[in-house]
């Protein structure tokens, strides 16, 4: 079953190298690396006084307070949600930074996939499969900075709306924090900011996981919408044959003759009419060639003197 599946995928141009590529880029880079960068930046912004990160985070929190203040006058709600949503914003910063290397990887996707297939021996095996592989990547929608950033921006509010209920309503942050404490309990206890880091990692693991999936879906969709398929190009020999003018249909040739050709053909007794008209002409000539009755000289003289009597005599 697995061999048949691999053969079908190769025939369609897909290989295991592509699955490895997408997993590495959107799970490895878009999830793991994103989480590490986001936690590091957010932790620095929260704990390094007088740094530009700290100042930018405090400034952003002021905007959150104003925005949430338009929705509620409850100061407790403002004091809770403004820092929380501001933290969600900074925990998403790594995803935007990693769009730059993601674009480079997407630009070189075909070459990277070929190398992965070469390592694991999962690439095309026949010339037909190689042709399908080349056509698949030549016609595949390409990721651009526009599609990547558009996908991320569209996905961002959806990411937060999806992740926050998981963190709070389903107590996802506490559950993930318990797992982290189980594996890294001593490190958390011994670190001066252990509890804060545990909190950030618990939130980021959920946030980045949601972001990796939704960013992949929305960026690929944006790339597909902006994709313009390549026009099929003909080989040089076929392209040259397009310039050759075919002769007109036989009927057109039969019906059209220059005046000089018609005169010379008429002299030679050759018909230059179309087939249907030639048949009608032949029938008319057959009727016109019916032999006339013989008239003697005496009958002719008598007809001149008495036309009515001559006519009756001839027809009898």
pLDDT tens column, 273-306: 455 555 565 555 555 555 555 555 555 455 545 5
Report d(CA 26, CA 220) in Å as an integer.
11
pLDDT score for 17: 93
Domain ranges of the chain: 2-230, 251-315
N-terminal to C-terminal alpha carbon distance within the chain: 101
Report d(CA 152, CA 165) in Å as an integer.
20
Q: Give the pair of three-digit tokens for residue 289.
A: 């060639």
Does the model's pTM come out above 0.75?
no
For residue 35, pLDDT over 60 is answered with yes
Give pLDDT tens digits for 258-276: 544 444 444 444 444 455 5
Q: Average pLDDT for residues 40-62, to the nearest whole number?
A: 91
Give pLDDT tens digits for 180-226: 999 998 888 898 889 999 999 999 999 998 888 888 888 888 888 88
Report d(CA 28, CA 16) in Å as an integer.
16
Q: Are 247 and 253 in contact (CB under 8 A)?
A: yes
Nearest Cα to 43, choosing from 32, 54, 34, 55? Answer: 54
Report d(CA 88, CA 90) in Å as an integer.
6
Least confident of 16-20, 63-67, 292-296: 292-296
pLDDT score for 25: 92
DSSP classification of residue 244:
S
């Amino acid at each position: 079953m697995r061999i048949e599946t691999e053969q079908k995928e190769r025939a369609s141009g897909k290989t295991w190298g592509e699955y490895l590529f997408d997993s590495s880029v959107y799970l490895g880079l878009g999830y793991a690396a994103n989480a590490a960068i986001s936690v590091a930046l957010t932790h620095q912004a929260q704990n390094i006084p007088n740094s530009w990160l700290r100042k930018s985070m405090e400034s952003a929190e002021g905007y959150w307070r104003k925005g949430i203040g338009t929705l509620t006058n409850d100061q407790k709600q403002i004091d809770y949600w403004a820092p929380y949503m501001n933290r969600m914003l900074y925990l998403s910063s790594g995803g935007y930074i990693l769009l730059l290397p993601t674009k480079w990887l997407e630009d070189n996707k075909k070459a990277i996939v070929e190398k992965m297939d070469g390592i694991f021996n999962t690439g095309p095996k026949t010339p037909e499969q190689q042709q399908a592989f080349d056509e698949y990547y030549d016609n595949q929608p390409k990721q651009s900075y526009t599609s990547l950033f558009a996908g991320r921006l569209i996905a961002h509010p959806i990411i937060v709306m999806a992740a926050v209920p998981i963190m709070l309503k389903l107590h996802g942050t506490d559950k993930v924090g318990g797992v982290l404490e189980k594996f890294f309990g001593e490190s958390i206890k011994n670190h001066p900011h252990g509890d804060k880091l545990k909190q950030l990692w618990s939130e980021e693991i959920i946030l980045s996981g949601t972001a990796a999936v939704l960013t992949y879906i929305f960026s690929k969709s944006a790339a597909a919408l902006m994709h313009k398929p390549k026009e099929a190009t003909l080989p040089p020999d076929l392209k040259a044959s397009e310039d050759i003018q075919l002769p007109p249909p036989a009927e057109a040739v039969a019906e059209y003759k220059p005046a000089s050709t018609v005169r010379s053909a008429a002299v030679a007794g050759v018909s230059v009419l179309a087939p249907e008209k030639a048949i009608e002409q032949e029938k008319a000539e057959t009727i016109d060639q019916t032999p006339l009755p013989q008239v003697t000289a005496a009958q002719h003289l008598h007809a001149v003197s008495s036309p009515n009597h001559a006519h009756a005599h001839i027809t009898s």
